[in-house]
């Protein structure tokens, strides 16, 4: 009988693994994707949605046609439990067996890392499509009654790139609205220094970010935890209170509960500890990629600083996992290896009409090479990449770079 590969999650990691396995083995495998959302979301573009520069339809597409044209079955359902011993996944549309399981379930926001966040008027995040839509509604209300703006990332957060991008896009939008200089804009971060990004920083990064903030008239507060947020006020752990009329804060991420509750599969946060093959350390027939895979932070800090699990490393992990699943189905040992920290860092940080290209030979130190290149070409590059990636992914051309 043909082997069954079951993938939980249909975004960056899940889509690339599912299509990658199918392309490796063609008709010799059954691949099924189960996802609670029936649409792919290009999450890097959520920074633009609150300002009306993108609509949901611009950065999403239906998954079923993409999977269908490549012979992958798509089930629009939520996974409710995983029986790793019996190799069964219970979903809202029935029970599905598997020979190999891929966890690509992404993340949940951990709002309780900042008490009051879920209830504070005027405080938003942009880490999901629904969150970004709400942030856009709040932004339009803010323009009618402007005041101080606070952008930041809480203790334990790892998605600092989105916070920086939203910060500089906010500054750009304030300028377009004739408000820059009239309302204070503050960046608050647990990073020990500007440009740490959750990857330890790059040569010249702190200096470059300081120049950017100075040029934009943005005040920065680094190396401080957020203690509590209420409507109109953010309290920091050092006792300071920052007033705001509009705030966008990136919280830490937690793994999905359906993964966390499987004995021996996930850590306390719900992420799956993996080998450099992206096999679970506890179950060699289970793989995890993207945000769902646990990453060891290579430093200790008084204030927790997470590691960014972005689209590029997720795509690399997915390719490694797909090749190794295909090898196992052929009766071979997994031969592809790539530790998360050894994946190159490739990122375009948008800043409205400007930006920074970030390149390094490794995501995490020690590195041999790292550079940050500023300039308006970065904004154009991000827009071009968005169009290319959505085209590539919608058509299932996952072998393209």
Q: Are 145 and 55 found together in one domain?
A: no
* pLDDT tens-place string over residues 340-372: 999 999 999 999 989 999 999 999 999 999 999
Does 385 participate in catalysis according to the annotation? no
Query: Number of structural domains, the chain?
Result: 2
Label residue 176 by pLDDT band (50, 70, 90): very high
pLDDT at 298: 79
Q: Are 121 and 235 found together in one domain?
A: yes
Q: Are 123 and 213 found together in one domain?
A: yes
Among 218, 252, 286, the domain boundary falls at 252
Catalytic pick among 59, 84, 248, 347: 347
Residue at 381 is within a domain: no
Please work out, in degrees rounded to the nearest 5, the angle formed at the alpha carbon of residue 354 by the alpha carbons of 349 and 356.
35
Domain with residue 184: its CATH number is: 3.50.50.60
Give me Rg for the CA atoms of the chain. 21
Q: Are 229 and 331 found together in one domain?
A: no
Instruction: Specify whether the CB–CB gap between 181 and 217 falls below 8 A.
Output: yes
Distance separating alpha carbons of residues 233 and 48, to the nearest angstrom? 25
Label residue 300 by pLDDT band (50, 70, 90): confident
% of the chain surpassing 90 pLDDT: 97
Among 297, 314, 342, the domain boundary falls at 342
% of the chain surpassing 70 pLDDT: 100
* pLDDT tens-place string over residues 132-172: 999 999 999 999 999 999 999 999 999 999 999 999 999 99
Residue at 36 is within a domain: yes
Q: Are 174 and 245 found together in one domain?
A: yes
Residue at 385 is within a domain: no
**pLDDT of 1 higher than 90:** no
Label residue 296 by pLDDT band (50, 70, 90): confident
Residue at 24 is within a domain: yes
Q: Using CB atoms within 10 Å of the CB of residue 333, give its burial: 0 to 12 exposed, 13 to 18 middle, 19+ buried.
A: exposed
Residue at 54 is within a domain: yes
Three state DSSP letters for the chain:
CCEEEEEECCCHHHHHHHHHHHHHHHHHEEEEEEECCCEEECHHHHHCHHHCCCCHHHCEEEHHHHHHCCCCEEEECCEEEEECCCCEEEECCEEEECCEEEECCCCEECHHHCCCCCCCCCEECCCCHHHHHHHHHHHHHHHHCCCCEEEEECCCCCCHHHHHHHHHHHHHHHHHCCCECCECEEEEECCCCCCCCCCCCCCCHHHHHHHHHHHHCCEEECCCCEEEEECCEEEECCCCEEECCEEEEECCEECCHHHHCCCCCCCCCCCECECCCCEECCCCCEEECHHHECCCCCCCCCCCCCCCCCHHHHHHHHHHHHHHHHHHHCCCCCCCCCCHHHCCEEEEEECCCCEEEEEECCCCCCCCCEEEEECCHHHHHHHHHHHHHHHHHHCCCCCCC
pTM recorded for the entire structure? 0.96
* pLDDT tens-place string over residues 261-278: 999 999 999 999 999 999
**pLDDT of 30 higher than 90:** yes
Label residue 38 by pLDDT band (50, 70, 90): very high
What's the average model confidence in pLDDT over 226-234?
97
Does 159 participate in catalysis according to the annotation? yes
pLDDT at 297: 81
Q: Are 97 and 134 found together in one domain?
A: no
Q: Are 35 and 23 found together in one domain?
A: yes
| Residue 201 domain boundaries | 110-252
Q: Are 145 and 225 found together in one domain?
A: yes
Catalytic pick among 96, 159, 234, 326: 159
Q: Are 232 and 268 found together in one domain?
A: no
Residue at 203 is within a domain: yes
* pLDDT tens-place string over residues 75-130: 999 999 999 999 999 999 999 999 999 999 999 999 999 999 999 999 999 999 99
Q: Are 242 and 264 found together in one domain?
A: no
Residue at 363 is within a domain: no
Q: Share the mean pLDDT of the chain.
A: 96
pLDDT at 299: 78
Residue at 379 is within a domain: no
**pLDDT of 328 higher than 90:** yes
pLDDT at 301: 79
Q: Are 285 and 218 found together in one domain?
A: no
Among 292, 324, 342, the domain boundary falls at 342
What's the average model confidence in pLDDT over 42-65?
98
Q: Are 57 and 185 found together in one domain?
A: no
């Amino acid at each position: 009988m043909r082997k069954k590969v079951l993938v939980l999650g249909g975004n960056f990691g899940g889509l690339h693994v599912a299509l990658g396995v199918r392309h490796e083995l063609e008709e010799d495998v059954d691949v099924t994707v189960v996802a609670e959302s029936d649409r792919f979301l290009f999450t890097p573009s959520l920074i633009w949605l609150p300002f009306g520069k993108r609509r949901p339809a611009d950065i999403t597409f239906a998954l079923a046609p993409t999977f269908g044209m490549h012979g992958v079955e798509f089930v629009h359902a939520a996974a409710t439990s995983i029986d790793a011993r019996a190799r069964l996944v219970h979903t809202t549309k029935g029970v599905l067996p598997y020979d190999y399981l891929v966890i690509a379930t992404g993340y949940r926001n951990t709002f309780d890392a900042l008490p009051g966040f879920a209830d504070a008027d005027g405080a938003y995040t942009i880490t999901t499509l629904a969150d970004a839509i709400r942030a856009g509604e709040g932004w339009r209300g803010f323009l009618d009654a402007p005041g101080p703006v606070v952008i930041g990332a809480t203790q334990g957060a790892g998605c600092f790139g989105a916070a920086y991008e939203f910060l500089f896009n906010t500054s750009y939008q304030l300028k377009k609205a004739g408000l820059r200089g009239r309302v204070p804009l503050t960046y608050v971060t647990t990073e020990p220094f500007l440009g740490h990004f959750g990857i330890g920083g790059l040569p010249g990064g702190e200096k470059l970010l300081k120049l950017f903030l100075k040029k934009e008239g943005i005040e920065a507060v680094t190396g401080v935890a957020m203690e509590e947020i209420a409507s109109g006020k953010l309290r920091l752990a050092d006792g300071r209170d920052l007033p705001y009329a509009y705030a966008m804060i990136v919280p830490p991420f937690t793994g999905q509960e359906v993964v966390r509750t499987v004995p021996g599969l996930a850590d306390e946060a719900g992420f799956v500890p993996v080998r450099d093959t992206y096999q679970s350390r506890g179950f060699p027939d289970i793989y995890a990629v993207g945000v769902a895979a646990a990453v060891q932070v290579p430093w200790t800090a008084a204030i927790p600083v997470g590691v960014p699990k972005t689209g590029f490393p997720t795509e690399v992990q997915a390719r490694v996992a797909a090749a190794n699943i295909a090898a196992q189905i052929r009766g071979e040992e997994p031969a592809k290896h790539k530790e998360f920290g050894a994946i190159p860092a490739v990122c375009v940080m948008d800043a409205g009409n400007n930006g920074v290209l970030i390149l390094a030979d490794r995501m995490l130190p020690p590195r041999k090479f790292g550079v940050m290149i500023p300039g308006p070409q970065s904004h154009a590059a991000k827009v071009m990449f968005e169009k290319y990636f959505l085209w590539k992914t919608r058509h299932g051309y996952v072998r393209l770079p």
